[in-house]
Homo-oligomer: A and B are copies of this chain.
Amino acid sequence: MSSQFGQLFRISTFGESHGVGVGVVVDGCPSRMRLDLDFIQSELDRRRPGQSKLVTQRKEGDRVEVLSGLSEDGLTLGTPIALLVRNEDARWQDYSEMKEKYRPSHADFATDEKYGIRAWQGGGRSSARETIGRVAAGAIAKQVLRENFDVEVLAWVEQIQELVASVDPLTVTLDAIEATPVRCPDPALAEQMIERIEAVRKDGDSVGGVIGAVARGVPAGWGEPVFDKLEADLAKALLSLPACKGFESGSGFQGILQRGSEHNDPYRAENGVVHTTQNNSGGIQGGISNGMPILVRTAFKPTATVMRTQDTVTTERENTTLQGRGRHDACVLPRAVVMVEAMIALVLVDHALRQRAARLDR
């Protein structure tokens, strides 16, 4: 059950980078929705490497094919929506050395230990191509959220190494995020980030950073009070992304510097509408949304693929070195922004559906 996510809006992803293709089956999408295929494709385009010189230059089409789930008119039937994106343009000669050597801080070694076999060409399920299924399903989740609940999910690059942008999650727009290839809506910082990434890329190295995200419009009442807390499900969703090593909700690790009397979010009511005057809770209290914007931040380590010589071992467990070759993503964060949005949308739509079943008196 390693490749399924969600309870009521449930996705099953499949595919490796070396086979026929990658994709997803979305089970539980509400019926009678006009599926916005252009939007799914545009989200896949945002995820795709080679959009700018900042990221891998490999050219991929990543055209989505709908295998099932739609009526002749393009409406969802309530049945599983299967989406396929075929693999193209594989050049496994780039990878041949990997057959006998484990790449440091990749999944190669652990995968071999677990399964006794691995798809050494391109990393198998640990390839970034696995996220294609997530992004496609996330696009559907975004459409459900937008059309049925008026909820918007946005993510952006907030930090690259020590370069920290200033972003207001209450007002940031998709246009501002998409304005630069680094997807940082702070123009001055964006320029510095681009320079940094470019320099590191030329150096054959890589950098990580922080992605910030907001969900605006989530009503109070989504999430469950114990194990399936909204922030617990968000944390799982985001930590399941490749290279993600940290998660914060609301004040996160910074909140620990405050005292409780400062940190608590006072309630105020205006015309019967309750809000908090600050949002250290990040829109979630006791695991349940309170109607304020949902705020999360995630840390992505520097990409493990670098064009350097590194110490490693062979599959025969002898010490050796491995020389990175070919192209590499010096910084995965601009693309990861789309994956972060997708995972947040998948969590929210699942809880939106669960909430409909939680109370029979409305």
Taking a contact as CB atoms under 8 Å apart, the answer to whether A31 and B115 are in contact is yes
Contacts of A104 in B (CB 8 A): 264-267, 276
> Which B residue sits closest to A219, measured CB to CB?
B113
Taking a contact as CB atoms under 8 Å apart, the answer to whether A248 and B359 are in contact is no
Contacts of A274 in B (CB 8 A): 109, 313, 317
Q: Does A32 contact B (CB under 8 A)?
A: yes
CA distance A288 to B125 in the complex (A): 12
Contacts of A265 in B (CB 8 A): 104-105
Q: Does A293 contact B (CB under 8 A)?
A: no
Taking a contact as CB atoms under 8 Å apart, the answer to whether B130 and A226 are in contact is yes
Contacts of A319 in B (CB 8 A): 268-269
Q: Does A49 contact B (CB under 8 A)?
A: no
Taking a contact as CB atoms under 8 Å apart, the answer to whether A245 and B239 are in contact is no
Taking a contact as CB atoms under 8 Å apart, the answer to whether B75 and A117 are in contact is yes
> Which B residue sits closest to A309, measured CB to CB?
B261
A-B contact pairs, 12 of them (CB 8 A): A1-B10, A12-B80, A14-B25, A19-B66, A72-B121, A107-B225, A109-B274, A111-B286, A113-B221, A204-B261, A232-B237, A246-B252
Contacts of A70 in B (CB 8 A): 19
A264-B105, A264-B306, A361-B116 known; A257-B162 Cβ under 8 A: yes
Contacts of A261 in B (CB 8 A): 204-206, 306, 308, 310
